[in-house]
Chains A and B, each alone.
Chain A
Amino acid sequence: MTTSPGVNDFALKLANVNGTGSASANGLLMQSIFRMGVPVSGKNLFPSNIQGLPTWYEIRVNGEGHTARSLEYHLMVAMNAQTYAQDVAAVARGGYVLYDSTWPLDDELIREDVHYLGVPLAAMCRDNFTKNRERILMKNVAYAGALVALLDIDLDIVSNLLAETFAKNEALRESNQRALRLGHDYATSHFTCPLPFRVETRDANRDAILVDGNTAVALGCLYAGATVVGWYPITPATAVMDNFIGFCKRYRRVEVAPGEWENNYCVIQAEDEIAAIGMVLGASWAGARAFTSTSGPGISLMNELLGLAYYTEIPAVVVDVQRVGPSTGMPTRTQQGDLLLCAYASHGDTRHIVVIPADPHEAFEFAVAAFDLAERFQTPVFVLSDLDIGMNDWIVPSLTWDDSFVPDRGRVVNDEDLATMREFFRYAGEDEDHVTARTLPGSDEKGAYFIRGSGHDQFGRYTEDSAAYLQVVDRLRAKHAASADHVPAPIIETRPGARVGLVTMGSCDRAVREAIEMLAERGIECDYMRVRAFPFPSSVSDFVTSHDTCFVIEQNRDAQLKSLMAIELSLAPDSMISVLDYGGFPLSASTVVDAVTSHLEVH
């Protein structure tokens, strides 16, 4: 499928060497296009490495707002000799390759059907800069300058961004500006600028922000009122905590005496993920809002204590920024492979609440919701993000906050309540959602109880009696089911006459929406459902049963969403067709369209 690029409709890919400073130049381009009011996305496809391995960055510009990953590159910035061959091969027919012409390209890299734009970047930077490090770094800004001319990006906007970025460092500001002009001037004097595809100012981003999911989820935790954190560093979740700590330093400091500041938060870098979730349970048991953030390997380690939290009914919020598994897998690649792990984490019969945001905006909102759900249902809640959401910048509507928000702390019995009670029993007296009241350490002696992961009855006492055990675990099952009415409902969008349903979750959202439009152009009308939480509300099963054919599109090998729906909703597994994309990169619409059309042609 080839479409011709045009104004505000093209994609470029930048091939770089990791650790050479390309990320900031690439981000600069992306952010400048955002400021021009044009929908754009940037996907960082980076290696698990600090320096030396190949890394790519993809920018897709689309005036219609389709910002899922495109697999068609109209312009390749080939800055990595190691990957020249594959990068040149990846350019769409009729597209362009921008390369460093300080050295000639090998003959075998020459394709007849693409255009070559040679810019002597290394030579330019060697002649204009004296420090070795600068000569390497400024090559990136110089190619950005060339792209600004070639793509008609507003030079003033780029220049202003550089000025803001380096506001506190005049030397860097000056050299960046100089490198930008060098590239820009070279392109305008050597090539026909702009290219046939280019950026044109629009006003699509007026109420939007450019933010990554790890920042947004950290903000959600801040706003939800989280005070205690246990965590262990892991890609791609580390930035959740970097951001949370940063926000806390800004918004959670209390001036206790003139010039003397103290923190109303406590972040502990734990010895491992087991300890991290242990700290969350200890703090939640004590009555604080506590959370941890991790990725799949961390969830594996946390399984034991997640079961303890489930069985003893302790709230906990766990952010899982998914990466490619199994095992260490590919830490810097994205996947949706932890759904089943999170839904059923731990041994024995366990089931958890999982909320699944599609983008940073929802990551913020669901992080807040996760704390309410965790405390209302006294159970662990997972915020199932992924690397694409967490580490890439997304254009999303601005985040808003309702100042009348009151957190749902769930059923907590305090001293005044206890005074009116004859006795208190931890697991007795369920409400309509099968939740029982808890007390917090430090409360009146009447409310004291003993938490245990061993068999316990509704009074909280140790038991090995079947009936007493069943009473508790059956209530837990009912409690989990009751939460289906309180978790985020699926997003369902219908089109007239559609008999086909496309079901997906999380970061697949934008690619699947785009696919629906592409399929409609081919005469295939599809309805859309994006599942946003487990347990599933009944509307999820209604959607599947009301369509002749349902495709379940997800980013894992074993069709985890489809399996979970089949198990939990008693849907026949063959009533749903899987579209699986799990190689580690964000989903693109063409993958979905190809899978759907080829299935429908055969059947």
Chain B
Amino acid sequence: MPSIAKPRIPLAPLVHNELGLTIRDYEGAMSTLCAGCGHDSVTAAISLAFFELSIRPRDIAKLSGIGCSSKTPTYFINGAHGFNSAHGRMAAIATGAVAAHRGLHYIGVSGDGDSLSIGLGHLSHAIRRNIDMTYIIENNGVYGLTKGQVSPSADVGSRPKKGDPNVVPPIDPMELGLAIGATFLARGFSGDKDQLVPLIKAAVAHRGFALLDVISPCVSFNDHEGSTKSYRFFREHEVHEIEADYVPQRAEIRSKISADSARAVTMHDGSVMYFRALPEGYDPTNRLTVESYLAERKAAGEVPTGLLYVKENAPDLHDMSGTIAQPLVEVSHRDLCPGSEALAQLQRAFR
């Protein structure tokens, strides 16, 4: 846990991943969030996911906006470049970075205010462009850093610590994503690491925009009676129906879900996402049934978690733009500049 200082010498021998790195290589600075903050659990899950995926820290780029959640990229994977940007703008900045340097693993961490209020436009268009990145919303229904205002994901009737209950209907990022063509939608809970880590791993493996909505209670401003994003409320209302596990390509299947009862979805790189659909016939690749399932559960006052929707092999930004396979940052000026002769030639049209 990045919120707890660790002994310099590990108490037990640390496990190494395929690169020979330990979980320590995927951790960051000490968290300055409140003790018990759901976000710290998500941070730990991100570290673990990348560690288990055996991705070199240098091949990862971390981005965020502004808010409690957006502080967290400094708490994981020190060896990765990070960009704590401006409120709501992370998706736009990530878009430029992905355009310039494809091939890195981009992970964005944002909050419900950052993503669904000030940054809703940028998030929506990043979804449309299918930017190849993992985008985590640490969703607590509240503005924490400014001390407790309701956020656009707050449910109607949920009561902030101070003030009147919320009367404005919320934006559900999963419903939003379905409506505008998202290619990977999953929901997790910061209190359920066993489910969250595979979801993050699958999101990273997904080629395209992977949106991960993680309910992450705010212990300071939204964990009280009357909140619908509290640990207690969520534990009572979560439907943990769609279990998922992610198995990297070439790796031995170590899924918690036994393969025989699960449905497998092959990701673009050959790795496999297993999920078990407890609701009869749940198919996360069928947008129409996913939409109606989510609507039904919502009507019943339940919040389904797990891999909700996935569409592999949809064109991403680079496919749509027809860019070369090589990252643009690696193309030398010599190959980009048409030169003096071409300049002289093209100016014939200017006479």
A residues lining the B interface (CB < 8 Å): 34-35, 209-211, 219, 222-225, 227-228, 230, 250-252, 254, 256, 261-268, 270-272, 274-276, 278-288, 290, 304-305, 308, 398-403, 405-407, 439-445, 448-454, 462
Give 26 pairs: A residue, B residue, CB < 8 Å, sorted on A.
A210-B350, A225-B337, A256-B324, A262-B325, A264-B324, A266-B323, A268-B99, A278-B93, A281-B96, A282-B94, A282-B100, A286-B329, A287-B101, A287-B329, A288-B99, A290-B100, A305-B89, A398-B344, A399-B343, A406-B333, A442-B58, A443-B81, A445-B78, A448-B79, A450-B73, A452-B74
The 8 A-B residue pairs with the shortest CB-CB distance, nearest first, are A282-B96, A278-B92, A445-B79, A279-B96, A288-B100, A282-B97, A209-B350, A283-B100
**Could you tell me if A209 and B351 are in contact, using CB atoms closer than 8 angstroms?**
yes
Provide the bound-state CA to CA distance between A402 and B93, in Å. 33
**Could you tell me if A283 and B99 are in contact, using CB atoms closer than 8 angstroms?**
yes
**Could you tell me if B336 and A401 are in contact, using CB atoms closer than 8 angstroms?**
no
- Chain B's closest residue to A262 (CB) is B324
**Could you tell me if A285 and B350 are in contact, using CB atoms closer than 8 angstroms?**
no
**Could you tell me if A282 and B329 are in contact, using CB atoms closer than 8 angstroms?**
no
B338 at the interface (CB under 8 A from A): yes
**Could you tell me if A228 and B99 are in contact, using CB atoms closer than 8 angstroms?**
yes
**Could you tell me if A223 and B343 are in contact, using CB atoms closer than 8 angstroms?**
yes
Residues from 56 to 99 in B contacting A, C-beta threshold 8 Å: 57-59, 61-63, 73-74, 78-86, 89, 92-99
**Could you tell me if A283 and B335 are in contact, using CB atoms closer than 8 angstroms?**
no
**Could you tell me if A266 and B79 are in contact, using CB atoms closer than 8 angstroms?**
no
Residues of B within 8 A of A450 (CB): 62, 73-74, 81-84
**Could you tell me if B318 and A282 are in contact, using CB atoms closer than 8 angstroms?**
no
- Chain A's closest residue to B347 (CB) is A209
- Beyond contacts A210-B350, A282-B93, A283-B99: 13 other A-B pairs, Cβ-Cβ < 8 A, are A222-B337, A227-B336, A228-B328, A266-B323, A271-B121, A274-B92, A280-B96, A281-B85, A285-B96, A308-B85, A440-B101, A441-B81, A445-B80
B125 at the interface (CB under 8 A from A): yes
Provide the bound-state CA to CA distance between A367 and B333, in Å. 15
Residues of B within 8 A of A308 (CB): 85-86
Provide the bound-state CA to CA distance between A252 and B331, in Å. 11
Residues from 302 to 351 in B contacting A, C-beta threshold 8 Å: 317-318, 321-326, 328-329, 331, 333, 335-340, 342-344, 346-347, 350-351
Residues of B within 8 A of A451 (CB): 81-85
Provide the bound-state CA to CA distance between A251 and B342, in Å. 9
**Could you tell me if A286 and B100 are in contact, using CB atoms closer than 8 angstroms?**
yes
**Could you tell me if A442 and B324 are in contact, using CB atoms closer than 8 angstroms?**
no
Provide the bound-state CA to CA distance between A165 and B325, in Å. 38
Provide the bound-state CA to CA distance between A201 and B85, in Å. 59
Provide the bound-state CA to CA distance between A398 and B343, in Å. 9
Provide the bound-state CA to CA distance between A277 and B346, in Å. 30
B122 interface neighbour in A275, A280, A284, Cβ under 8 Å: A275
Knowing A209-B351, A262-B322, A264-B328 are in contact, say whether A252-B336 is a contact too (CB < 8 A).
Answer: yes
B229 at the interface (CB under 8 A from A): no
- Chain A's closest residue to B61 (CB) is A441
**Could you tell me if B84 and A448 are in contact, using CB atoms closer than 8 angstroms?**
no
**Could you tell me if B329 and A288 are in contact, using CB atoms closer than 8 angstroms?**
yes
**Could you tell me if B96 and A283 are in contact, using CB atoms closer than 8 angstroms?**
yes
Provide the bound-state CA to CA distance between A230 and B94, in Å. 12
B206 at the interface (CB under 8 A from A): no
- Chain A's closest residue to B339 (CB) is A403
Residues of A within 8 A of B101 (CB): 286-288, 440-442
**Could you tell me if B104 and A442 are in contact, using CB atoms closer than 8 angstroms?**
yes
Residues of A within 8 A of B95 (CB): 230, 268, 275, 278-279, 282
B129 at the interface (CB under 8 A from A): yes
**Could you tell me if B340 and A403 are in contact, using CB atoms closer than 8 angstroms?**
yes
Q: Closest approach, in angstroms, between the C-beta of B93 and any C-beta of chain A?
A: 4
**Could you tell me if A305 and B86 are in contact, using CB atoms closer than 8 angstroms?**
yes
Knowing A286-B329, A443-B81, A451-B82 are in contact, say whether A278-B89 is a contact too (CB < 8 A).
Answer: yes
**Could you tell me if B328 and A266 are in contact, using CB atoms closer than 8 angstroms?**
yes
B92 interface neighbour in A263, A282, A287, A443, Cβ under 8 Å: A282
Provide the bound-state CA to CA distance between A287 and B332, in Å. 12
**Could you tell me if A263 and B321 are in contact, using CB atoms closer than 8 angstroms?**
yes
- Chain B's closest residue to A439 (CB) is B81
Q: Closest approach, in angstroms, between the C-beta of B96 and any C-beta of chain A?
A: 3
Knowing A399-B343, A452-B84 are in contact, say whether A263-B100 is a contact too (CB < 8 A).
Answer: no
**Could you tell me if B93 and A401 are in contact, using CB atoms closer than 8 angstroms?**
no
Knowing A210-B350, A275-B121, A275-B122 are in contact, say whether A400-B331 is a contact too (CB < 8 A).
Answer: no
**Could you tell me if B92 and A448 are in contact, using CB atoms closer than 8 angstroms?**
no
Q: Closest approach, in angstroms, between the C-beta of B50 and any C-beta of chain A?
A: 13
**Could you tell me if A285 and B93 are in contact, using CB atoms closer than 8 angstroms?**
yes
Knowing A274-B92, A285-B93 are in contact, say whether A444-B58 is a contact too (CB < 8 A).
Answer: yes
Provide the bound-state CA to CA distance between A305 and B333, in Å. 27
Provide the bound-state CA to CA distance between A407 and B337, in Å. 11
Provide the bound-state CA to CA distance between A439 and B82, in Å. 11
Residues of A within 8 A of B339 (CB): 401, 403
Provide the bound-state CA to CA distance between A270 and B326, in Å. 23
B336 interface neighbour in A225, A230, A267, A444, Cβ under 8 Å: A225
Provide the bound-state CA to CA distance between A287 and B96, in Å. 10
Q: Closest approach, in angstroms, between the C-beta of A147 and any C-beta of chain B?
A: 21
Provide the bound-state CA to CA distance between A287 and B79, in Å. 18
B 218-239 binary contact with A (CB < 8 Å = 1; else 0): 0000000000000000000000
A441 interface neighbour in B104, B129, B343, Cβ under 8 Å: B104
Residues of B within 8 A of A454 (CB): 84
